Structure 1
Amino acid sequence: MFYRYNIILTFLLCGLLGISAQSGTSAYRMLDLPVSSRMAALGGKNVSSPDGDLNFAFLNPALLNGASNSMLSLNMANYLADIQFGTAAYGFSKGRHHFAAGVQFLDYGTFKEATESNEIIGEFTAKDIALSLIYSQELSERISVGVTLKPVFSAYERYTSFGAAFDMGLHYRSVSGLFSAGMALRNLGAQLKGYYLGADGQHTERLPLDLQLGFTQKLAHAPFRLSLTLHQLNRWNLYYTDNSSGKTDYDYIEMAGSISVADMAFRHAIVGVEFLPGKNFYLAASYNHRRHQELVMNGFRSMAGFSFGGGVRISKFQVGFGVSQFQVGNSSYLFSVSTSLNEFKL
């Protein structure tokens, strides 16, 4: 048969002890996808923006605050080849304690099941889903911490897997509110049940561990906000590993060595800018150098690495749109809508 078959000291210690995972070799890569149109427009990762956007708590739980109280957020994206990806979240607060529950899903669609002689004998589906239980606490007016528990479930035809991941976050905001910084250790955990049994028993893969550090600065006399996000700080080598290429580990080490120090360093950085003329409208753009280097092809013009988006408040709803490239020549579009249930007297 043929079927389609990956409180601060503790935070710092976990970051130092984390085991790195190469691109293409870890399970549950869905956890790395942009969670909203605004996040997509900012390059897919941001752990420092103090905007009170509920969706940002998916990446840094310390960003969950009172502005997310009674907020409901829905996000949907056409990812690649009709693959559907989306998130939903709801937040509530009690004093300096903030809570949220969310879900991420990736639906690969329906596939034909065939024998080796190409006889169609049925159909099957493939799906990933992750739940997020988020908690944050304000330690002071300027510092907050947070943690997220994420049970992850996956089913590809008859092959199933589940795991558990944790996120830990820290956020600082200056007295003026113009500068903020955030740190998050994401996807610390394990695949508890693999898709199949190996020679030594259950075959499991590592999770996409990611230590991120971000800085956001709003200009005092202009409606612009700048962000710098450093990701994958738990490992230096970000050369993409293609498991289907047939290349050996030595081949990849040799190819990674051909990348300059400056190029490799910049692959860890995402820069973003937002235009914020008021509370009811924004535009955003970003550049993700790693994504650009992995997707760009000689002889083809490409916007790979660049992302754009915007949002506007319409009556009781905040509506957002973002566009990014995850495949050469094809763009993915992300749509978001959020509202406060308090607007409806609920």
Structure 2
Amino acid sequence: MAKQLLLFSFFAAFLFKNLNAQTLGGSNTYQFLRFPASPQLAALGGVNVAHKSNDITLAFQNPGQLDSSMHSQMAANFNSLYDGAKNYYWMLAYHHPKLNTNFVASILYFNYGNMAQTDASGNILGSFRPTDFSVQLTASRKYMERWHYGLSVKYLSSNYGIYRSNAIAADVGIVYKDSANLLQMGLVAMNMGGQLKRYNEAVAEELPFDVVFGIYKQLEKAPIRFSLTAHHLHQFDILYNDTTFNNDNGFRNPSSGKFTFEKLFQHFVFSTQLLIGQRVEVTVGYNFLRRSELRITNVPNGLTGFSLGVGAMLPKLQLRYARSYFQNSTAYNQIGLNLPLNQYFGLGKWGEKMGW
């Protein structure tokens, strides 16, 4: 295992050296890419690049998670957010036997509902419906017995009334799988790329770049799985700090440039999953950064930062539900299903030729 950790360290060091550290939340665009696209990811705390599951939606955050066992699997996910905002995610996997390569096509779409369009004085001029979407193509392959690597390329588009933008981005990920020890590790560089069209031609905005490492372990004699994920490895101080807002409202400004354990733990997401028999999984996750950013001073913050999920693994259907808690225990719900399409219908001779 020490050799594998060393290889991951060298790969991470290469990424840090060759990629420019980009700015954090509130200072870059296309923030919808940080949203967990599926109930599984949401229940695991919102960020996870190493969890072991026959769920193609895990490839949304790590293309190296895609393998041949997910062939013909289709996933459809829905999330109703606040004030009419909705999120949809669809993806389909295919394993090409001759190329020995796995492919996925996916679409992520956000509709934020109807909003009033105003001028600088607040006068209502009309209304508009802001949207974000991403079209993503993913390919992955296996190297030797335990290594998997993958690449995702995505086209991004945002439409906010008169302000529109689009971009190209890529994710690169690797996964190490040790089935004998019930262990997995993953490392990903996310959202590398740039804008093709800017909201304002005079201002270039950065994408929400991230470097994420995760480790997954299942107990040998108990049906319990654990995951530890570390994100924003390229930058230590990641808490978004609006000093003007803090000063105007009497809030404390976090100390900058100093090491604190609070800043360290803001990089971590913990999760555990309990398997009940062969068909049911129950998941609990905790995101330190989410709780740090969204907690309210001097009031109870309840379950802020926590997430819960349950899944039913049926013979021809995976059904999952997640509930994630945000500010002051405000939560959103997410549902999704996965279907192995080749178990529902065939494609005749054409299907035989393409390995359906």
TM-score, normalization by structure 1: 0.89
User: Where in structure 2 are the equivalents of 1:252-331 lying within 5 Å?
Assistant: 255-257=254-256, 261-297=260-296, 298-314=298-314, 316-331=316-331
Structure 2 match to 1:77: 79
Q: Note if 1:35 corresponds to 2:17.
A: no
Pick which of 219-228 and 92-101 moved more: 92-101
Deviation at 1:246, TM superposition (A): 8.6
Deviation at 1:148, TM superposition (A): 0.3
Deviation at 1:317, TM superposition (A): 2.0
Deviation at 1:177, TM superposition (A): 5.2
Call closer, same or farther: CA 1:301–1:255 in 2, change over 3 Å: closer
> Aligned residue pairs: how many?
333
Query: Distance in 1 between the 2:335 and 2:148 partners?
Result: 29
Structure 2 match to 1:332: 332
Structure 1 match to 2:216: 216
Deviation at 1:333, TM superposition (A): 0.6
- Runs (5+) with no aligned partner, structure 1: 1-6
Deviation at 1:260, TM superposition (A): 5.6
Query: Distance in 1 between the 2:242 and 2:171 partners?
Result: 27
Call closer, same or farther: CA 1:98–1:14 in 2, change over 3 Å: same
Structure 2 match to 1:3: none
Does the 8 Å CA contact 2:55/2:338 hold for their aligned counterparts? no
Query: What amino acid maps onto 2:155 in structure 1?
Result: P
Give identity over the alignment, percent.
27
User: Where in structure 2 are the equivalents of 1:153-172 lying within 5 Å?
Assistant: 153-172=157-176
- Alpha-carbon RMSD across the aligned residues, in angstroms, is 2.5
Pick which of 297-306 and 206-215 moved more: 297-306
Structure 2 match to 1:13: 14
User: Where in structure 2 are the equivalents of 1:37-116 lying within 5 Å?
Assistant: 37-95=39-97, 96-115=100-119
- Cα-to-partner distance string for 1:197-222 (whole Å, 9 max, x where unaligned): 32xxxx22111111000000000000
Does the 8 Å CA contact 2:241/2:254 hold for their aligned counterparts? no
Deviation at 1:12, TM superposition (A): 5.0
List 4+ stretches of structure 1 deviating above 6 A: 7-11
Deviation at 1:305, TM superposition (A): 0.9
Query: What amino acid maps onto 2:168 in structure 1?
Result: A
SS at 2:320 equivalent: strand
Call closer, same or farther: CA 1:266–1:209 in 2, change over 3 Å: same
User: Where in structure 2 are the equivalents of 1:167-178 lying within 5 Å?
Assistant: 167-176=171-180, 178=182
TM-score, normalization by structure 2: 0.87
Query: What amino acid maps onto 1:37 in structure 2?
Result: P
Structure 2 match to 1:4: none
Query: Distance in 2 between the 1:29 and 1:116 partners?
Result: 24
Pick which of 237-246 and 313-322 moved more: 237-246
